[in-house]
Amino acid sequence: MRPALIYYVAASLDGYIARPDGRVDWLEAIEESGDDHGYQAFYDSIDGLLMGRATYETLLAFGGDWPYPGKPCLVLARGDLPPAAPDVRINHDTPAQAIEQLAAAGCKRIWLVGGGSLAGSCYSAGLLDELVVSVIPHLLGAGIPLFAAGLERRLQLREQRSFPTGVVQLHYQFLPEAEIT
Amino acid sequence: MRPALIYYVAASLDGYIARPDGRVDWLEAIEESGDDHGYQAFYDSIDGLLMGRATYETLLAFGGDWPYPGKPCLVLARGDLPPAAPDVRINHDTPAQAIEQLAAAGCKRIWLVGGGSLAGSCYSAGLLDELVVSVIPHLLGAGIPLFAAGLERRLQLREQRSFPTGVVQLHYQFLPEAEIT
């Protein structure tokens, strides 16, 4: 069985995951609240990670320890980026091939960490199963959209919950096109 | 006291209120559900309306009876548009002047009906007090954004609720800039 691919991401109310230059400083007030908004429970539920080049480079630039030790992480990037940890593999396969490799490594639930470009590719290729958006009470006005793909799709709401920080987490399922009525 | 200006609007999960050409056909499935998503209660709570030219023209194009009888409605538009009902006044004042006129007519809660352009002007001018977004479980990929203004602002979540249709309604308060910490 193909593993589930879950795009778990924070976005501004106007649908951006980062400023135009990739900065996420506007998330700091939320991160410093001490409320993890269910992150640990989500992280415990996944067993593999998929990320794009820009997201990986942002993580490297933060420095410090690799934040996802012990879970296989595939980074889709061309060129010679250094693997940040033993669990990290970097190649330039397609998203579908990457998911196959993570499946072969035993993964059943894969977190699509980001960013908008890879999410757009996975979305366009019909590979996304779930979308969990933490809607931040913030209007950015401009930025990197949730999906770098101008595609239309109906979703099914599975769950929603709000937090004292004003964050509302919306959990959607992507339906197979045939099931959309 | 200045009346409250409330932008009550439906938007796709990716932050669009209409397709690039203004069409809202993607809302039909939701509208046909029979669930009014709290619309009547909201409509009963407001006593005046403010709208932009494109929204007004869209309403005129639908034909039929004027949907907001008995409540004063100010349309901000240049040119010679016909008033659709006795309660409708059309002029090209600024949004601030329009709100003053509605206040003079006794209005305490004004619904900013749309669209994104007028909402952007009111937002830029600091005139908006509340934002109620009904998030539709739908990704549009492109369209007319919630606000036609690239401005950044933090909001305060007041309330949120979900409906069997998968719509999640998020109710925010705009804080005076000085109160934002």
What top-level class would CATH report for the domain A1-9+38-131? alpha beta
Q: What is the pLDDT of residues A15-30, one digit of tens each?
A: 999 999 888 999 998 9
For chain B, the domains span 4-166
Q: Do B133 and A26 touch (CB under 8 A)?
A: no
Nearest C-alpha of chain B: how many angstroms from A118? 15
When pLDDT is cut at 50, 70 and 90, the band that residue A4 belongs to is: very high
pLDDT at residue A149, rounded to an integer? 75
Residues on chain A touching B29 (C-beta within 8 angstroms): 154
Mean pLDDT of chain A: 92
- Residue B25: band (very low, low, confident or very high) from pLDDT cuts 50, 70, 90: very high
Task: Answer whether residue A180 shows pLDDT above 80.
Answer: no
Nearest to B153 among A139, A157, A162 (CB): A139
Contact A61, A83 (CB under 8 A): no
pLDDT of A64? 87
pLDDT above 90: residue B22: no
Residue of A nearest to B120 (CA): A141
- The span from the CA of B110 to the CA of A78, in Å, is 54
Q: What is the ipTM of this complex?
A: 0.91
- Cross-chain CB nearest to B15 (options A14, A137, A160): A14
**CA angle at residue A113 from A108 to A114, to 5 degrees?**
135
To the question of domain B4-166 being in CATH 3.40.430.10, the answer is yes
CB contact under 8 A, A157 and B139: no
Contacts of A168 in chain B (CB under 8 A): 157, 160, 168, 170
Look at residue A177 in the predicted model and tell me its pLDDT.
65
Label residue B177 by pLDDT band (50, 70, 90): low
What pLDDT shows up at residue A8? 98
The closest of B156, B144, B89, B87 to B120, measured between CA atoms, is B144
* Model pLDDT, residue B148: 81
Predicted structure pTM score: 0.93
pLDDT at B149: 75
> Burial of A33 by CB count in 10 Å (0-12 exposed, 13-18 middle, 19+ buried)?
middle
CA gap B102, B49 in Å, rounded:
8
- A161-165, B131-135, B160-164, B174-178: which range is least confident on average? B174-178
Structure tokens belonging to residue B61: 């194009």
Q: In the prediction, which pLDDT does B175 show?
A: 81
pLDDT for A105: 95
pLDDT tens-place string over residues A38-88: 999 999 999 999 999 999 998 998 888 999 999 999 999 987 888 999 999
Distance from CA of A143 to the nearest CA of B (A): 10
Query: Is the model's pLDDT at B5 over the cut of 70?
Result: yes
Query: Over the stretch B40-97, which tens digit does the pLDDT of each residue have?
Result: 999 999 999 999 999 999 899 888 899 999 999 999 998 788 899 999 999 999 999 9
A1 pLDDT band, cuts 50/70/90, is: confident
**Degrees (nearest 5) of the Cα angle A96, A150, B17?**
135
| B contact set with A (CB within 8 A) | 13-15, 26, 29, 133, 135, 137-142, 145-147, 149-157, 160, 162, 166-168, 170, 172
Q: How far is B12 from chain A (nearest CA, A)?
A: 9
pLDDT higher than 80, residue B121: yes
